[in-house]
Each structure stands twice: as C-alpha cells, then as structure tokens.
Amino acid sequence: MGNSFTALGSTSGMATTVTVWNEYVHEQENETVADIYPDGIHAVLADALEERGFETRTATLQEDEHGLTEDVLDDTDVLTWWGHTAHDEVRDDVVERVQERVHDGMGLIVLHSGHFSKIFKRLMGTSCGLQWREAAERERIWTVAPGHPIAEGVDECIELDEAEMYGEPFRVPEPDRLVFTSWFEGGEVFRSGCCYEREDGRIFYFRPGHETYPVYHNEDVLDVVGNAVEWAASGGSSDLPTVQNAEPREDIDTSDERSVH
Amino acid sequence: MGNSFTALGSTSGMATTVTVWNEYVHEQENETVADIYPDGIHAVLADALEERGFETRTATLQEDEHGLTEDVLDDTDVLTWWGHTAHDEVRDDVVERVQERVHDGMGLIVLHSGHFSKIFKRLMGTSCGLQWREAAERERIWTVAPGHPIAEGVDECIELDEAEMYGEPFRVPEPDRLVFTSWFEGGEVFRSGCCYEREDGRIFYFRPGHETYPVYHNEDVLDVVGNAVEWAASGGSSDLPTVQNAEPREDIDTSDERSVH
Amino acid sequence: MGNSFTALGSTSGMATTVTVWNEYVHEQENETVADIYPDGIHAVLADALEERGFETRTATLQEDEHGLTEDVLDDTDVLTWWGHTAHDEVRDDVVERVQERVHDGMGLIVLHSGHFSKIFKRLMGTSCGLQWREAAERERIWTVAPGHPIAEGVDECIELDEAEMYGEPFRVPEPDRLVFTSWFEGGEVFRSGCCYEREDGRIFYFRPGHETYPVYHNEDVLDVVGNAVEWAASGGSSDLPTVQNAEPREDIDTSDERSVH
Amino acid sequence: MGNSFTALGSTSGMATTVTVWNEYVHEQENETVADIYPDGIHAVLADALEERGFETRTATLQEDEHGLTEDVLDDTDVLTWWGHTAHDEVRDDVVERVQERVHDGMGLIVLHSGHFSKIFKRLMGTSCGLQWREAAERERIWTVAPGHPIAEGVDECIELDEAEMYGEPFRVPEPDRLVFTSWFEGGEVFRSGCCYEREDGRIFYFRPGHETYPVYHNEDVLDVVGNAVEWAASGGSSDLPTVQNAEPREDIDTSDERSVH
C-alpha cells in the first residue's frame, strides 16, 4: 500500500478551500459587538481570506449540524474556529467528526476564545486555561520565529491599541513551534501563536480577536490568519493504514496460537 | 499567589506511591494468560515496583469506580495503566477524573495495549492507532536517549524472545522525548518509549507487555517501568491559577465597559 | 523594520535552485565506487533532482573554496551535502559561511556519512556519533510521520537490499520532527529521517547513501531527497534584526547611565 | 555492554558539585559593578548555591586554563557560566573540553550575556542574537511551565525593578521546554528560561543578571538558579558507545568486502 498523500489545495494548484466557523451569538445579542461585526465575525474573516486568494464559505452554530456536515468537510482544506459563550452547545458528534478530519489532514485555525472550545481541548488533551482581563489595553504580538511561514510579512511586532489580555500560564502542551508571543500593557505575556500537529493535521492557535474590539479589522492580524491557512493547508493527508494486522516482511514463524483476540 | 509546588513522593523524601491499574479480564478468562499471570498482570507489576522501593496498591476494572476513587487518587503519585479488551467499559467520569489528576501533576505510565485506552487517547488528542501482529517473534528495544533517567541501567537494547509486534505509523503526537525504539524480527520498527507532558503531569508510554507472553517477568522490562515511575514522580504540582480574571500589574485604565460576559 | 521574508524559489514561482555538494574522493580512488557512480555521487543526485523539477548545480571539495563561493551560495535555495573520508579537509571558513547561510534561510540536506561533517556537527552542537556495520544487509526505512511533506508518495517503507547499517544511539539533538526510522537485518534500528530548524534555515538529515552500494539509483530514495529539497525550500528568510540596541516602544525613562559597554 | 549511567550528585545521595564560572572583568574595571559585586558575580552566585545545599567552587577567565582543567571538570556535576565582554578570550580548547563534558552528562547553566559565549553558541548551532537596551526598566519573568522543576516555588512572576531589556527574536533553536518568558516595561518580550538537552547533558539558559543592576542579590532569581542546578544534575551520564563498528545481533552474512574504509 502506498502513501498517495492527497495534496491539499495549496500544493495541488487548486485554490485552498476554507470554512470559516463562528458561534455567531454575541453579534446577534450585543450592540457593541454588532456595531463592529454587523454580519458576524465569520463574514469579516471570510471576506479577508477571499481577498487573500482562498475559496471560502462560512458555517455557524445555528445551522443544521452547525454547518459542518460531512459534505462541507469533504470540501474543506482548512477550518477556522471562533467561539466564546456557547462552547457547550456544540454537539459532541460534530466535534468528533471535526477531530477525525484533522487527523486525516484537514488544517484547523483556532482563534482567541476558541481556546476553550471542545475541539481544541480534545486535540490538546489539556484544560487550555489561561488568565484574562478586559481593559481595552495595548497588546504587542512579537514574532518569535521570524523564518516560519506564518510570520511572513509580519513586522517585529503587531501593535493593537485595544485588546483583551490573555496571560500565562496557558495550559496547553508545549507547542511544536512557537511563532508569536504577546506583551500586554497591564504587565503580562502570552504565547499567542502556537503550532501543533495531530496525526496528519496541522493546527494553529492564534490569540487576537476579542468580540468587543475591532481586532479582525486589523490587516496585520488578517495577514497572519491568511498565512496560517496557507501553512495549515501545506501538510498532507496520507492513506497509510491507521490500524492493521500486518503480514511480516521477513520470513518468520507465524504459527503461534496464543492469541486472546 | 505562589507556586507552592507540592513535591511528589520521590522528591519529598517520602516513598512514591504507585497505583497499578489493570483491566484484569484476560487473566480470568483465558488459560494461557492465567498461567503466566495467575493473580493478574497488576499483581506482578505491583510486586516488582514494591521491590524497587515504591509504595504500591492495585486497582481493577471490576472494583467500584474501577478502584480509582477520589481518595485513592489523592494518595497516588503515579498511576500505571494496563487494558486491552475492555477499554469501552471504563466509565467516562472516571477517565475524566484521571485526566484532571494528570493535569494536576499525577504521573501516568501507559503500558502496551493501553495505547487504545480512553485515558491515553484523551491525553494525546489522536487515535493512537498502530500496526500489530501476534507471532511470538523476537523484539529488541533499543535505547535512543541513553542519558534519559528512564534509560538508567538499560543496556544498548533489551531483547525479548517472544513479543507481539507493534508497527509504525503510531498515531500519536511527536513525543517530547523518544527514549526507546523497537526492532521486530518480522521487519518492523516502533517508537516504544515515549515521554509527554500534559499540564503538570508527566506521561510515559511503554510498549512491552502482551498478555500471552511472559513479558512482565523480564527484569529489564520491569526496571524500565520502575525508572518511568521515578521519572513521572519527579515533576511538580503547581498551585498557580488555571483560569483567573487577573488584576493588572501595571497602572492602566481598567474602566472599559464593553464586556459581554 | 518589516519582515520582508524573501520567499525561496519554491514559493516564489521560480524554480528552487539546489547545489549538490560532494566530497568526491571515493569515486576517484575506489573501483567499486567508481563502477556505481562513474561521474560521482553528485552527478547522480543532480540528475535526479533536475528530473524532479529543480535547477541544480554541483560543487566538490576539489574546487576553489570547495565550489561554495559567496556567489554560488547567493544563488542556492537548498544545499545537499555528501562527505565521508575527507571531512577534515573542508575549510573552516567555508563551513562558517555555509552555517551563516543556513541561519539566513538556506535549506540543507545532509546525507548518510555527512552526519560526521563539520557543518552538521556545528549546526547540531553534538558529536553526531552512531554505530555502524558494512555487511550489505537489508534495510527498511519506515515512515513514522506519514502526513509530513517529506513522506509524500512514500510507501509504508522503502526496502533496500544492500545497505550499510547505522545504529542507535545517534548522538544528535531530539529532532523537531522524526519522519523515518530504519530497520536493519542484523537487528538494529536508526532514526534515519530527522528535521531540524536553526534560525531561518531548515535542515533534513537522511540516512541512506553508502558509497559501495547503489543506493542513489533507487527511485524511492531519490523521491525522498526531492521531497526534502522542496520542504527545506519552503521556509522563509526573514530580515528582522539579529542583534540590535532597540528603542523602547513604550514611553519609559531611558536616562540610566550605568552601562559598561 | 551496559548503561551504567553514573548518577550525578543529586541522585546518588552525595551533594551536587557546582563550578561557578565568571569572566570577572567588569567587577575589576568598573566602579558601578564593583559596588554591587565587590568579590565578583561568581562569589555571590557561589554563596547563594552553597546556601541552597550544593558544593561549590569558582573559576574565572584569568586562571590557568580559565580554571576549567580536566581535574576541575572531573569533579563538576553542573557548571554555571557568566561572561559578557571577553567571550573571545576564552580558549577554544577549553570550550571544546566543556562541550565534551556536557555531551557526557555535565549540566550547564548559561546566564544572561552568556548567550553570546562560545560554549553556548557551539551547543546551540545558532548565532544566539537578540535585541537589547540598558534603561534600568522593570522586568517581569512569568512562569510558563508551572509544573517544571525549575519553576518550583516561583510565583506567577518574578518582578525586577531594574533590568537590561533582552528582546525577541532570540536566535536559538526552539527550546525543548520553555519555562519562563519576560515582559519589559519598554514594550518587549523574551523567552528567558529555556531548557535544552545535548547528548547526555542538560542545559538551561536563564536571562536575568546584568552586571550594573543588583539582579543576583534577588532571592527569587537565585532560587531559580538553584532549581536549575538541581534539574541539570538530574540527568544521567550513560556509558553506551558513541561510535562503534557493531557486530550483528541477528545471524546475517557479513562477508561483504566492498568497504573503502
């Protein structure tokens, strides 16, 4: 059996297809948020990714199967995830489906308060806790790994005038690659750009994005999201067996009968 | 708030306390297995760890709460886990409890077919699949990280005359540290000793241990299990906050009211 | 200052340029080797990479500055390195030059006995020792990370009928990503495909390639070398400062005069 | 051949022996520094480590072989390194000797401006560059890995009123484990506590320690140095072969004569 390694969009010459998922609750219930994101955070993100050359669609909590049907996922190279207040309303079977797709090579970009989403906690195996404060304070997102593709085009740091603070300790596994670290005006730091691989899938956690500040209208932030999509689409999807009772490659005695299977 | 970092047994001068968990099904149902482990795999492991200076107790699937009550876990520095045929019978709430204990600093040693246990899959975030074959073939477990404490006293390799084969790809996250890699007579290799950290807890996956071969009567294998217990007990258990709305350290304006919380 | 991140060939739409470096001693002195590689190992590798769509040139120890002048390196996205018997004859200033290029983003593929080259030892910081045996024995190179781009198109394993054995412990830092692990007929294992990043540069060590066996005539091996070149060219080359006396971003008192600089 | 794994002091029941190395130039030439460290930085560090239960000695650049003779290193479990203005005066043969000792299991704690020392650059394989500023500004060293032994007893953060700023990007390999990250008043962040392993040796880079500010009179900083010594002494020193022409473990045909060795 070979590793046919279905190339995702970005490496196959076809456009990478991104599904932008949003819980889409605050925007419909809170005026401050609605003013910033009248059509939802997902609309702004999808537009920005479309501009950067990706095929995009959106999906929200309220849709059937949260908009993440097998058909949609069949046509998704990279999924971005934003949620905050309704993590518990996401169906476990959909979470399991998304997790399996990640294992099979789908990229996943988890944004801001998505650190507490079911899907991120399941993929990390930890509580994903952190410290936080809403004080509209200044944040600087420093590039720690300047040669990493996700940092392409990013200055030494991205400066946001108004941000929610997230502070350490961030209860996640040590990232495979730490790309960004944030400085906050109030005195804290945070590992704000973290790469992971889980089976064939690439995962990037990116911190910026609070709902009451216009963070996703910042072009530098959107550039990073675009880079992350590109990076997450650049892995492969192997078709090597995942579980298999294997024939020996060498000529050995296989007559042992002591199995309890 | 300080990080009082409750030292586990091994660093506090008190004996490290190990709970040896076993599914304990094959030994009661299959004669071949019963001949090798008349009192169960847990009994052999517990004796071996006792001899190596640890305080041990055992717990099995059949006990109330699988023997893993809050009280038992309160008094457990390191938990070892053996399961094979009854992974699905382990209660989800007990799995969650064990996972939280690992996050809080309890060590966990996952043995052999425990790769498919609920607790290991939850901590890894992957399917933990692998290739396998039961042919009583020869295995050599090579030391890849000779300076690691878990390799202390281990020769270049441990040779087992009869082993079940486990083959790559092993669907786990890249280990923080790979300590052993196995060679099999039939032609395969396997990453057989893998270290992970998940929050404050240290996890070691160790491959040897099939139920129909007398692997846990091998003193070299038992030495490694003992080393792994020692290593897993050498982490800490911090009491830094996991989630917290934090006061600023610098004098900043905190009057922003745009919260949706 | 921005991170203009000069895209290497593979991502810029221009062909990736590879310089294939070879010590080129055995082929001129030993008949067995000359029969297998009449124009040198570099010629075979360069042809194979050319066929796979890369622009290639070769360079050898005997050339002025070993063929690795500033001009040549200016036009090199990825350098491949084969050496065995003459590591000590490579000039230190050329090694230093290559090391700096790797830091600046040039990819480096180190092949087989190149594990003991000056450049690899300098980039790893370790002795890079290993065990070895020349017995023309069978090797299977197993894919451990099937979703990694370097494993694209590779079967579960590549089988070589005649190989030199390399065995563990391999004295290198823990790889950032382990892609392949070898099985040997004589009983050993080896981490035979190891990814590293050093500053902006990507490095891949790939084990196969002994001079007295026709390993570089194996298309599967050559496919992996091609994949590795593609991967190593996919990083970036940032122009963020490497050392800099930085102006503060916040308004702080900078009047302190207690410097000894 | 076995892995006798000579236990270092900390695990053998004998006291861990630390050699505190200091360049010792500023203290003899600059009044500000002399006022803070009248007997040298090494004297303050050695006293602090002695108080924490280690056997200590000091060694300086000016001594014969910089005080790092074979005999001294034979009796050193962990070496701490402080240098700044005279890195180039350290003899290459002594650096090589220290590197070999690290490979053999000696711990190494590299402090502050030691990031540019020959020994650290050799072990990292990178330039180890960073951004810097001397403005006596506030620094907070945040605990990122609260369960790590080096963080034992450390609060959420250590606050220093006056510090030199070190900023990202820090040109080192991705740490095996990042334990601390610094926040600076002027707006930057820095990975200030980084763990590495190179062969059998454990290495910890710890940022605090500028010569014109009394950083090594801070008990929290000294506690971390003590923890780091303990951690670095807890690895092993294996005696498995580093390079070896190995006999096969399986019965294979070893009659091949095609060697060029």
The stretch A65-73 carries a mean pLDDT of 98
What local confidence, expressed as pLDDT, does residue C1 receive? 31
pLDDT tens for each residue of A79-137: 999 999 999 999 999 999 999 999 999 999 999 999 999 999 999 999 999 999 999 99
pLDDT tens for each residue of B158-205: 999 999 999 999 999 999 999 999 999 999 999 999 999 999 999 999
**Mean model confidence pLDDT for chain C:** 93
Please, what is the angle between helix B41-51 and helix B219-232, to 10°?
Answer: 70
What local confidence, expressed as pLDDT, does residue B13 receive? 59
Question: Is the pLDDT at D149 greater than 90, yes or no?
Answer: yes
Q: How far is CA D138 from CA B260, D134, D183, D224, in A?
A: 33, 11, 8, 19
Q: CA C25 to CA C61: how far, in whole Å?
A: 8
The stretch D189-211 carries a mean pLDDT of 97
CB contact under 8 A, A143 and D183: no
What local confidence, expressed as pLDDT, does residue C7 receive? 47
Question: Is the pLDDT at D123 greater than 60, yes or no?
Answer: yes
Reported confidence tier of residue A12, pLDDT bands at 50, 70, 90: low
CB contact under 8 A, B187 and C140: yes
Question: Is the pLDDT at D16 greater than 80, yes or no?
Answer: yes
CB contact under 8 A, D174 and A169: no
Least confident range from A209-218, B4-13, B83-92: namely B4-13
Q: Which of D153, D176, D201 sits opposite B3 (nearest CB)?
A: D153
Strand partners, A115: none
The stretch C18-28 carries a mean pLDDT of 98
Q: CA B206 to CA B180: how far, in whole Å?
A: 9
Instruction: Kindly state the percentage of chain D with pLDDT values over 90.
Output: 87
Question: Is the pLDDT at D235 greater than 90, yes or no?
Answer: no
pLDDT tens for each residue of A145-166: 999 999 999 999 999 999 999 9
CB contact under 8 A, D140 and B249: yes
What local confidence, expressed as pLDDT, does residue C10 receive? 46
At residue D244's C-alpha, the angle toward residues D238 and D245, to 5°, is 155
What local confidence, expressed as pLDDT, does residue D118 receive? 98
Q: Residue D143 CB: number of other CB atoms within 10 A?
A: 24
Q: Could you please report the per-residue DSSP string of D38-71?
A: TT-HHHHHHHHHHHTT-EEEEEETTSGGGG--HH
Question: Is the pLDDT at D247 greater than 50, yes or no?
Answer: yes
pLDDT tens for each residue of D86-105: 999 999 999 999 999 999 99
Of C110, C127, C225, C111, which Cα lies nearest the Cα of C170?
A: C127
What local confidence, expressed as pLDDT, does residue A192 receive? 98
Instruction: Kindly state the percentage of chain C with pLDDT values over 70.
Output: 95
Task: Give me the numbers of helices (H) and strands (E) for chain D, helices first please.
Answer: 8, 10
More confident residue, A13 or B159: B159
Q: Which of B135, B213, B256 sits opposite A252 (nearest CB)?
A: B135
Q: CA B207 to CA B141: how far, in whole Å?
A: 9
Chains in contact with B, where contact means 3 or more Cβ–Cβ distances below 8 Å, are A, C, D
What local confidence, expressed as pLDDT, does residue C83 receive? 98
More confident residue, C257 or D87: D87
Reported confidence tier of residue C241, pLDDT bands at 50, 70, 90: confident
Q: Which of chain A's residues have a Cβ under 8 Å away from the Cβ of B137? A: 248, 252-253
Between chain B and chain C, how many beta carbons pairs sit less than 8 Å apart?
58
Cis? peptide before B208, omega within 30° of 0: no
- Which tokens belong to D155? 């609060």
CB contact under 8 A, D132 and C244: yes
- Which tokens belong to A251? 């000529």
pLDDT tens for each residue of B49-64: 999 999 999 999 999 9
What local confidence, expressed as pLDDT, does residue A153 receive? 93
Chains in contact with C, where contact means 3 or more Cβ–Cβ distances below 8 Å, are A, B, D
pLDDT tens for each residue of A169-221: 999 999 999 999 999 999 999 999 999 999 999 999 999 998 999 999 999 99
Reported confidence tier of residue C175, pLDDT bands at 50, 70, 90: very high
CB contact under 8 A, C189 and B182: yes
Question: Is the pLDDT at A66 greater than 60, yes or no?
Answer: yes
